[in-house]
Structure 1
Amino acid sequence: MRSLPLTLGARLLPVAVLAAAGVAMTTTPDSEARPKPSAHSPRPSTSAPSAPSSGAPVDGSSGAPVDGQGDDTAAARYPKPPAKPCATLPAGTVKDLVPGAPAAGTVLTTSDATRRSGCSWHALSGFDYRWLDITYDVSAAAATRARSEQGDGPSTSVPGLGDQGSVSLNVTTDDKQRIREAVVVARRANAVVTVTYNGGDFETQEAAGTDEIRQGALTAAKKALSALDG
């Protein structure tokens, strides 16, 4: 059996060190609710999109309001994000997607808990590494960001995922280790759920399978959306 690459082994073993690798949600008032990896995490970074411009959001081609905007009922549907974001995914889902991770997860920190909340799970099971996080954003500009907040790869629409949903896939390489990541952005009324799921095999240095990562991210997104309504 191959050993872990030296740099990855130093970061990942023992597992307790991996579990202690911190993440922090961006905290500026107009920033995205996207968690950012710590310097010690093997998770590939994702680029945060630019803050939306001020003014009423409109469709660039027709000048029509963005879906869900201008609807007072939709705007007021979710006054705040889930107070316990780590409880929004069933323990069984966490076990399936992130083997070896504590179901309790790690709450992501934010400067404004009335607008954003999130949770992260990550673990190394044998040589298989998986990272999952979910974030909620119920800020006034959430629907606007949902149109542009994606991962590094091309995104595709996901019909039936909230009022508006999309998924993007990307593969990064760090010290010959390939990591595949899926980012799902789903909007329901004024709430935006962002799910990031990635993984790789540190024995073969190959990225996790496309279908596994894509479907895993979508499964988590559906559960996270359902939790909005309790």
Structure 2
Amino acid sequence: MHRPAPATAPRTRLARVLACAAVPVMLVAVGCSSDSGGDEKKKDSGSSSSAATPSGKQSSSPSVAPAKYAKLPDPCKALAEKTIDDLVPKAKSKSGTAGKSTDVASQGTCSWNGLEDKGVKGSQYRWLDVSFKRYGSDAAIGSGDQRAAKEYARLLAATKATDGAKNVKATPVSGIGDEATAVSYDLHKTDEDFKYAVIVARTANAVVVLDYNGAGYQGADAPDAGDLMKDAQGAAKEAVASVVTANGAKQ
């Protein structure tokens, strides 16, 4: 005789449904449905990851100090006429000879030369050259001061390594810009012995190089190296000061 199935199973399923309905939604999702629980865990995991991710704001570019000097002086007017008269007697052109430059705001040079005839005592030849370089600030490559400092070091090394130079001496000098070095050496050329006094200096984002040299012709003695260097330092200080004046700053 066939007996009906016990009513226990339906009642049990109903009890479970009612029990789940009484539990908070989050617990239902986790404890009452194993299939949906896996999906929810994945969603929760994804949202947590998103929350931990930065908002996507890009960090601002590193800033550099603005360049102190925005322009350079006219190289041929950087030194006073009296300075030219004293250092280069009988100069061919007291106004100087300007070097070619495609950007006078960033670099420029000027030179003077002359031969003073002293009769039976021979002749004295002098050459004076002043050059300027200015560097702007750039976040990608550094501040104007940093760039000028690198050029200062490069030019100083190049001066000390002048081809054919003998008795090279380099001495730091104070009172000329932010940093300066005096370089002296001897160089034989055009069958004469030349004495050189070179000042490499930096003032903020500008580099100044003053080259003063000379020789004795027709039996004249070579110029005194000490006097030559003293004059070169005085002229270099004047050239550096011209950079400050060109930018409207006080000494």
Q: TM-score range by the shorter chain?
A: 0.5 to 0.7
- Tell me which residue corresponds to 1:143: 149
Give the count of matched residue pairs: 158
- Tell me which residue corresponds to 1:172: 187
Q: Deviations over 1:129-167 (max 9, x none)?
A: 000010010024322121232323231100121100001
* Mapped contact 1:178–1:206 kept (Cα < 8 A): no
Query: Is residue 86 from structure 1 mapped to residue 79 from structure 2 by the alignment?
Result: no
SS of equivalent to 2:244: coil
- Runs of 4+ with deviation above 3 angstroms: none
- Tell me which residue corresponds to 1:194: 209
- What is the TM-score normalised by the length of structure 1? 0.64
- What is the TM-score normalised by the length of structure 2? 0.59
* Mapped contact 2:148–2:204 kept (Cα < 8 A): no
User: Match for 1:144: what amino acid?
Assistant: K
Unaligned runs of 5+ in 1: 1-69
Q: Higher helix proportion, which one?
A: 2
Unaligned runs of 5+ in 2: 1-62, 118-122, 136-143, 163-167, 246-251
- How far did residue 71 of structure 1 move? 6.3
- Tell me which residue corresponds to 1:128: 124
Q: Deviations over 1:150-208 (max 9, x none)?
A: 32323110012110000101111125410001110111100111000000110226431
What is the CA–CA distance in structure 2 between the aligned matches of 1:107 and 1:205, rounded to whole Å?
A: 30
Query: Is residue 161 from structure 1 mapped to residue 171 from structure 2 by the alignment?
Result: no
Quote the RMSD (CA, aligned, Å).
1.7
- Tell me which residue corresponds to 2:105: 114
Identity %: 32
What is the CA–CA distance in structure 2 between the aligned matches of 1:71 and 1:217, rounded to whole Å?
A: 34
Larger radius of gyration: 2
Q: Deviations over 1:55-109 (max 9, x none)?
A: xxxxxxxxxxxxxxx9614xx1111221x21111110000000001132111111
* Mapped contact 2:169–2:183 kept (Cα < 8 A): yes
What is the CA–CA distance in structure 1 between the aligned matches of 2:64 and 2:170, rounded to whole Å?
A: 27
